[in-house]
Amino acid sequence: MNTESLRHIAIIMDGNNRWAKREGRQGIAGHKAGVERIRDVLAAARKRGVSTLTLFAFSSENWRRPPREVEALLGLFYSYLKQEARELAEEGVRLRVIGNRTRFSKNLVKAIDEAEAIACNGSDTLVIAADYGGRWDIIEAANQATAAMQQGLIPNQLLTEELIDQYTSTADLPPLDLLIRTGGEQRISNFLLWQAAYAELYYTPLLWPEFDAAALNAAVDDFFGRQRRFGQTSEQIDAMRLGAERA
């Protein structure tokens, strides 16, 4: 039985298009329904003591989709930022957007900056990954660490796991505990590759617009039913747990 706390959940929100097709609606309707789902899942995660929720909203590979769909997705992202930032702030949630912003329009970049400025405080954090890729994140971290050494900001040294970790997009956040993917696919699609090294993976056939508070709670319950060993044996983990209980 896992007795650790659960502080950071990430979700690959898959299945919007399939949900829309099943409902006899256009694909954008699925994405709109998916945006509406964020509020409920965030609230459910906070009730379970999760301080950080990271959502994969737009991957670096999503630019390959039909231009009309890309435009619609980015439009929904813009609308979400404009509509939700103040409410997040009022609820005590900090907003972070991670990813490569260089391909976004000036208006969208401005909306991101403004939303982050509005919802800049809070005990909990909502992270939206937009134009994000795990490989990009690792390369950026390595480049930033190298640049810091060249500028004399940190001592010259070989790149290490600890150093790379300090420069990833999520360096200031709790380690990733649980990675959820909706929609039935069983892959992580270049999402949080570095951070997911020891995360628990949870796949559900539910399409993202169907993934509600009950589904989130089922994933959390499953997490607490697992034993996280981090390379150790079950016997070692059990011995440490017993030692902590007797102390």
Task: Give the residue, 244 or 27, on which the prediction is more confident.
Answer: 27
Pair 154, 148: CB distance under 8 Å: yes
Pair 61, 100: CB distance under 8 Å: no
147-173 core/surface letters (b: 16 or more CB in 10 A; e: else): ebeeeeeeeeeeeeeebbeebbbbeeb
pLDDT digits (tens, 9 = 90+) for 191-210: 999 999 999 999 999 999 99
Inter-CA distances, 227 with 38, 198, 219, Å: 28, 12, 14
pLDDT digits (tens, 9 = 90+) for 21-37: 999 998 889 999 999 99
Active site residue: 2, 17, 40, 62, which one? 62
Assess whether pLDDT exceeds 60 at residue 243.
no
Assess whether pLDDT exceeds 70 at residue 233.
no
Instruction: Work out the angle at residue 72's Cα, subtended by the Cα atoms of residues 133 and 168, and round it to the nearest 5 degrees.
Output: 20
Average pLDDT over residues 113-123: 97
What domains can be seen in the chain, in order of their start residue? 8-246 (3.40.1180.10)
Q: Whole-angstrom Cα distance, residue 84 to residue 82? A: 6
CA neighbor of 14 nearest in space, from 72, 62, 48, 47:
62
Query: How many CB atoms lie under 10 A from the CB of residue 70?
Result: 14
Structure tokens at 55: 């959502």
pLDDT at residue 189, as a whole number:
97
Assess whether pLDDT exceeds 60 at residue 181.
yes
pLDDT at residue 26, as a whole number:
86
pLDDT digits (tens, 9 = 90+) for 130-145: 999 999 999 999 999 9
Indicate the pairing of strand 178-181 with strand 8-12. Answer: parallel
Asked about 143 being catalytic, the answer comes back as: no
Asked about 14 being catalytic, the answer comes back as: yes
Mean pLDDT of all residues belonging to the chain: 92
Could you tell me how many residues make up the chain? Answer: 247
Assess whether pLDDT exceeds 50 at residue 237.
no
Pair 138, 194: CB distance under 8 Å: yes
pLDDT digits (tens, 9 = 90+) for 59-83: 999 999 999 999 999 999 999 999 9
Structure tokens at 245: 């209980």
pLDDT at residue 227, as a whole number:
75
